[in-house]
Amino acid sequence: MCQAITGRGFPCLNTTKNSKFCYCHDQEKKSLSMCEGITKSGNRCRHSVKRGTLCGIHLISEKPDHDWYELRLYNPDVGWPDISTVLSRVKKVKNGKDFHRKIKLLEQVYMFDNHPRTYLICVAELFFINYYLDFNTGYWQEIVQDLVVRLKPYKFLSDYLELFRKKFDQSFRLECQKKCIDKVLTQGLGKDCAKLILEHL
């Protein structure tokens, strides 16, 4: 007989085969000993707990390149690659030169094989993973603008694209700053004074 206690406080009456618990309570114990971490593909980790509620991999406190909340914004439509496929194709690079090489490699692999959607998302994720590089130069801003134009028609990517623009599109950030300043100045000084100040920014 199973040695577990049910939710009502009575002993479980199910029979067991090889362990002290029946199948239901054995699975329950196993799920309690499973890591509560989330993998990069968004699934729950299948490793067993090493300490507390996490496995050895998730115990290592590593700052994420692109946290799960942001990755969730990319919810692929039919014909678009899933996020685990994309993340397996993009890596951190050391400098702008390597970044440029990586974009060209992605272009060769996906654009010539007629997979432009995979190319677009891979390039966007390449930016996210290499966020520490300086993308505020004219050359990189042209690439950012080109990517924005090509992703804009897809409505399901609107939240993902907005996040991308906030992080990498310099003109979008300046536009948002002006709107914010305009709102603050208008409330504090009135429309006429705010307009004069904004003309000089």
Instruction: Kindly report, residue by residue over 65-105, the tens digit of the pLDDT.
Output: 556 667 778 888 888 998 888 888 888 898 999 999 999 99
CA distances from 56 to 29, 33, 40, 49 (A): 19, 13, 16, 8
Q: Quote the pLDDT of residue 43.
A: 76
* Residue spans per domain, the chain: 68-168
Q: What percent of the chain has pLDDT over 70?
A: 72
Q: Is the pTM of this model over 0.85?
A: no
Contact 59, 39 (CB under 8 A): no
Give the H/E segment covering residue 182.
helix 170-189
Confidence of residue 179 (pLDDT cuts 50, 70, 90): confident
CA distance 2 to 25: 8
pLDDT in tens, 134-152: 999 999 999 999 999 999 9
Q: Quote the pLDDT of residue 194.
A: 61
CA distances from 109 to 106, 118, 140, 153 (A): 5, 10, 21, 23
Please state the rounded mean pLDDT for residues 164-172: 91
Structure token pair of residue 44:
């729950």
Phi, psi of 55 (to 5 degrees): -85, 180
Place of tokens 């100040």: 197
Q: Quote the pLDDT of residue 62.
A: 46
Q: Which residue has the higher pLDDT, 61 or 9?
A: 9
